[in-house]
A and B are shown apart, each in its own frame.
Chain A
């Protein structure tokens, strides 16, 4: 049985992996324990506000690699431990039965060689599925450089696999993780995507039902947001990934001059995720969101930023606009757009109706008309100021006369 001490070490080494989602798979229960919920289920939330859905753990944190950004790098002085496949399986079954977790997120440091590590991972998931009859969710980390036969076999057992691309460019990867190479990461990702496509064509739904994801560290290297978003888009298009995760860089006890000494802050990560949502659900392309040498605006979310740059597309008429245009309006999200489309079949909507349907009117008002009526501002500068003000009010912040030049003037003269 895995003891507290080792559980602690192996969890603390695994927690910097961002992905914890248990969605995308509808695995049925076939005479064993457990199933998967397509939408995923969160079981708890830690103090940092992140969800616990899967039990995130490493098989071992004894690593032969020395990636500068990683806690488990060889040169870092941290306690080391490893667990046996059986110990992991037993813990998963006991936690799952008590409804603590939705499944397992299993990863490992490279203990001897990629193949050896992958073999252990494969053994663990094989045992869990075949011996323990576990039908819950499994997310398995793929080990770059491991034999593709091992990877394929694992893919037939688990719900999701991920190869972390770690850093947003090959150059940074070479600098900070000299033992890893971009091609070693991208090749298996590509092979998995192709195998999954082929399996689907033969109606084999057991091959990675929830697809692949990846993760990259933001802020440890100098790439602009524009580049990161383009890379993200390419990963969705080329490798049909389900999700790309960003993790803002946190210094992990490191002394190398190659890495920044301060954390990046969470706002940048937040903005990147917002842009990522625009790519995945709102029908935006990376080129629409920003240029490759640009960073996302800290003051406005990316959708607002896009709308402000493209005032020629607005205002849109709420009562006739197609849904894909409605969701492009700042202040209207997926849920509200859906409400609008359904409600306008009954009668035409006015501003009051929208307000009641929880459209964020402070934002939306400059971009919409209701039966031809317009109540907002048209000058981009004025709209910008009002949106800034609306955001401030939302965060319940005391407005300072000295906050930003535009706001201060507008507050002083009472005009926008």
Chain B
């Protein structure tokens, strides 16, 4: 049984694709992190090579444009253990058949791929609503713990919305920061503890928001199951109204 091991980035998986075509072999699975090998597992480490990755990128673009490239590798942002394997097999089929197969839902891998993409898009959309900023000395600050690695997908929405504000969006799970300085956005890895100083008005507005949140509820229509469906509990620990 053949297994590819790569760094888990789009470039890494692209190099796996290249190896698979050049050496005419198809791995059982592709991993980046740890996995459980069995007796007959043969692990091939695939090094990431930017030049090879670029060739693969152009190859995929020929199958369905640059859109297809970003769509194919979107699931790599997922937390799912099969993300690299699924991405690999769908991308391999595209390259082999020289067309986009991302809508062939009779293929189990394609369905899985779609599900991962949908989950990621859904979470980005949810976070656009659920993120809570605090007014701090020097700008706005928000922290969140998304399931998927999406901080750079979430941030542009807020840069468009608050072009003249400075803000930081902090993924506390992965220690990533999206920083907007009033002009441009960048994502940085952060290894230090983050301390913010709240503005004097902040507490007052939090209180007003909590008041609003509790008074807009209609007691006689209580339906917590519905609430849990729309707003899963794991998101609440970062939201002002559930503090």
Contact = CB atoms under 8 A, between A and B. Distances in A.
Contacts of A42: 129, 230
A227 B190 CA distance: 61
A49 B216 contact: no
B58 to A, nearest CB: 25
Interface residues of B, number: 53
A97 B218 contact: no
B216 A34 contact: no
B242 to A, nearest CB: 9
B105 A356 contact: yes
Given A44-B129, A356-B111, A11 B216 contact: yes
Interface string A368-379: 000000000000
A35 B105 contact: no
Interface string B152-170: 0000011011111100000
B103 A342 contact: yes
Given A15-B215, A48-B218, A342-B103, A100 B132 contact: yes
B130 interface: yes
A250 B220 contact: yes
Nearest to A5: B211
A97 B165 contact: yes
Contacts, number: 147
Contacts of B149: none
Given A4-B211, A97-B165, A339-B105, A44 B241 contact: yes
Contacts of B221: 48-50, 250, 266
A35 B208 contact: no
Given A356-B111, A357-B111, A48 B209 contact: no
Interface string A15-53: 110000000000001000111010101111111111111
A56 interface: yes
Contact of B215 (A11, A37, A49, A51): A11
A390 to B, nearest CB: 20
B131 interface: yes
A132 interface: no
A99 B222 contact: no
B212 A11 contact: yes
Nearest to A352: B106
B22 interface: no
B105 A357 contact: yes
Interface stretch (B5-13, B133-141, B179-187): B133-141
A343 B133 contact: no
Contacts of A345: 103
Contact of B133 (A2, A14, A49, A99): A99
Nearest to B126: A42
B209 A100 contact: yes
B103 A49 contact: no
Contacts of B213: 44, 46, 52
Given A42-B230, A49-B223, A97-B140, A33 B105 contact: no
Interface of B: 101, 103-106, 108, 111, 125, 128-135, 140, 142, 157-158, 160-165, 201, 205, 207-209, 211-213, 215-227, 229-231, 239-241
Given A7-B215, A44-B231, A97-B135, 15 more contacts: A7-B211, A12-B216, A15-B217, A33-B162, A34-B161, A37-B128, A43-B130, A44-B239, A46-B216, A46-B218, A49-B221, A50-B218, A97-B133, A343-B105, A346-B101
